[in-house]
A = this chain, B = another copy of it.
């Protein structure tokens, strides 16, 4: 998303997402900060928790407080996953901000078979939400197929999440996505 496109996108979308590669695109942060739409700000893959909070300030300082932070994996030396999902970052963030913090296990691992377990772990650690990629035919997906859940996997996962949620004081609401 380019700064020049924010207004156009905001006229159609319900929410604006600033992707991890744009986390320190300060011109874009200020631009979405002037929008009236809620913003999802993803942590850069080599950004510290401190830097994510500083990036959030660019948005908040423009008057937009409808902001959600998202942990989506950091770059480490480990190669068995695309990135290393840093679940303790949820705790570090929550100690320092009131903003909601969600987790993206799909991009964080890049591997379908890891997504359900990491989703449960993210809920158990106290995340306020999850952003999970689902596709009815992942093998035919135009992008991110290898990390997308099949519908049945997603149903099983939601069932498990509902069982864990009361233990960590969360309530799972469901809204209908694009139909």
Contacts and interface: CB of A to CB of B under 8 A. Distances in A.
Interface in A1-21: 1-5, 21
Nearest to A30: B2
Contact of A25 (B21, B108, B167): B21
Interface centre among A85, A121, A168 (most CB of B within 10 A): A121
Mostly, the A contact residues are helix
B89 A87 contact: no
A48 B79 contact: yes
A2 B26 CA distance: 8
A131 to B, nearest CB: 17
Contact of A76 (B76, B80, B125, B166): B76
Chain A interface size range: 35 or more
Interface string A146-178: 000000000000001001101110000000000
Nearest to A117: B125
Contacts of A121: 87, 121-122, 124-125
A163 to B, nearest CB: 5
A108 B84 CA distance: 14
A123 interface: yes
A-B pairs with lowest CB-CB distance, top 10: A46-B46, A2-B27, A21-B24, A124-B124, A121-B121, A120-B124, A80-B92, A121-B125, A121-B124, A163-B167
Interface of A: 1-5, 21-22, 24-28, 44-50, 74-81, 84-92, 95, 108-109, 113-114, 117-118, 120-126, 160, 163-164, 166-168
